Amino acid sequence: MWYFYILQSKKNLNWFYKGSTGDLRNRFQRHTHGEVNATRPYRPLTLVYYEAYVSEKAARLRERNVKQSGSISVPLLRRVKGSLD
């Protein structure tokens, strides 16, 4: 399985990281231990959302589409934020 995921900073609740991986547990551990430069300053982090895909191509495409398109990203983040209240 491959995953598209969203992390939220516990320091700055308005900061979200979007990524994809073939090993969600390992990747989240790397984020939480400061091994990922992009998320290190925003730790501690919480995994707030993920989607599972059969192929790497599909997960990477979802990541790219969410990052590039406000019409996808804004409603998705609104839904994620709404579920955290």
Domain count along the chain: 1
State which residues form the domain around 70: 2-84
pTM of the model: 0.94
CATH number of the domain that 7 lies in? 3.40.1440
* pLDDT tens, residue by residue, 6-30: 999 999 999 999 999 999 999 999 9
Percent of the chain surpassing pLDDT 90: 91
Q: For the residues 42-68, what does the mean pLDDT come to? A: 97
Cis peptide bond N-terminal to 44, omega within 30: yes
**Residues sharing a CB contact under 8 Å with residue 30, sequence separation 6 or more, in sequence order:** 36
- In one-letter notation, the amino acid at residue 39 is T
